[in-house]
């Protein structure tokens, strides 16, 4: 999943990015509201974390402008303000949740996981297809009860395909959602990771059907049924 952090305090922004990257997310960072607004419009993000108090336009103003542009990515506001009127203003601007500073990283991570379960359709933290299971909270993948020991990128690709099951996903979309903006990734890299995934989730399980299908010239798909 690809996230955008818009936070003018570079120390806080970089600490959040480092933590989320270690959790397997692809993370881009903008350090003021204007840059954040442009970045959010230029790419597609699965969720955004916006600081309220920033030079230039505030996080609330960024959120409001994005909603007016039709951007529906989930938004979490970070705020030092805890007055009810400030919280109401942020939620009325289109934010999905808020978190008061200071906060623990574990709470931030839990809020992000909750936001990522909301879009389009409510998603259970346990995702399954056939006898393959992904536990999004514990970041564990199993098939037929056996741990699959996926890397963070392998897990992220599998999660993205499962979130979009029954839809063909191009290599370009996988790159956009699994790697951050600064990564120099080619379509061949996706092919390599898909091979890694198949060696772990399909090859050892001869009796089950292949989970990931290749649609030549278009991309990959995970179907509910064969």
pLDDT digits (tens, 9 = 90+) for 27-73: 999 999 999 999 999 888 999 999 998 888 999 999 999 998 888 88
pLDDT per residue as tens digits for the range 87-139: 788 888 889 999 988 899 999 999 998 888 765 544 557 888 989 999 887 88
Residue found by looking up tokens 């499962």 in the block: 162
> Looking at residue 83, what is its pLDDT?
64
> Looking at residue 162, what is its pLDDT?
92
Q: Rounded distance, CA 50 to CA 133, Å?
A: 32
pLDDT per residue as tens digits for the range 64-74: 999 988 888 89
Query: What percentage of the chain reaches a pLDDT higher than 70?
Result: 94
The pair of structure tokens assigned to 92 is 């009325």
> Looking at residue 124, what is its pLDDT?
59
Confidence of residue 82 (pLDDT cuts 50, 70, 90): low
pLDDT per residue as tens digits for the range 162-187: 988 899 999 998 998 888 776 778 88
In this predicted structure, the answer to whether residue 197 has a pLDDT above a threshold of 90 is: yes
Which H or E element spans position 130? none
List, in order of start, the domains of the chain with CATH numbers. 2-116 (3.40.50.2300), 126-221 (1.10.10.10)
Closest by Cα among 74, 201, 70, 188 to 131? 201
Q: Rounded distance, CA 103 to CA 78, Å?
A: 9
- Give exposure, 132-141, as e/b (b: 16+ Cβ within 10 Å): bbbebeeeeb
pTM for the predicted model, two decimal places: 0.67
> Looking at residue 168, what is its pLDDT?
94
Q: How many CB atoms lie within 10 A of CB 187?
A: 12
Report helix angle 187-201 to 152-163, nearest 10.
Answer: 90
Q: Rounded distance, CA 212 to CA 198, Å?
A: 7
The pair of structure tokens assigned to 105 is 């990283």
């Amino acid at each position: 999943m690809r996230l955008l952090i818009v936070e003018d305090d570079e120390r806080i922004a970089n600490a959040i990015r480092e933590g989320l990257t270690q959790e397997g997310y692809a993370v881009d960072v903008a350090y003021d509201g204007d840059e954040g607004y442009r970045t959010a419009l230029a790419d597609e993000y699965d969720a955004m974390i916006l600081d309220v108090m920033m030079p230039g336009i505030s996080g609330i103003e960024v959120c409001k402008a994005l909603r007016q542009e039709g951007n529906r990515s989930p938004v979490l506001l970070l705020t030092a303000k805890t007055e009810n009127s400030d919280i109401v203003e942020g939620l009325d601007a289109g934010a999905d949740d808020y978190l008061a500073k200071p906060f623990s990283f574990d709470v931030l991570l839990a809020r992000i996981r909750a936001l990522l379960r909301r879009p389009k359709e409510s998603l259970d933290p346990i995702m399954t297809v056939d006898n393959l299971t992904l536990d999004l909270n514990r970041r564990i993948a199993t098939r037929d009860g056996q741990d699959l020991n996926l890397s963070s990128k392998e897990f992220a690709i599998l999660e993205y395909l499962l979130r979009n099951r029954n839809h063909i996903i191009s290599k370009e979309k996988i790159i956009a959602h699994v790697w951050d903006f600064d990564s120099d990734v080619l379509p061949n890299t996706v092919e390599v990771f898909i091979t890694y995934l198949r060696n772990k989730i399909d090859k050892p399980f001869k009796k089950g059907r292949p989970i990931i299908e290749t649609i030549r010239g278009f991309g990959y798909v995970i179907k509910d049924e064969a």
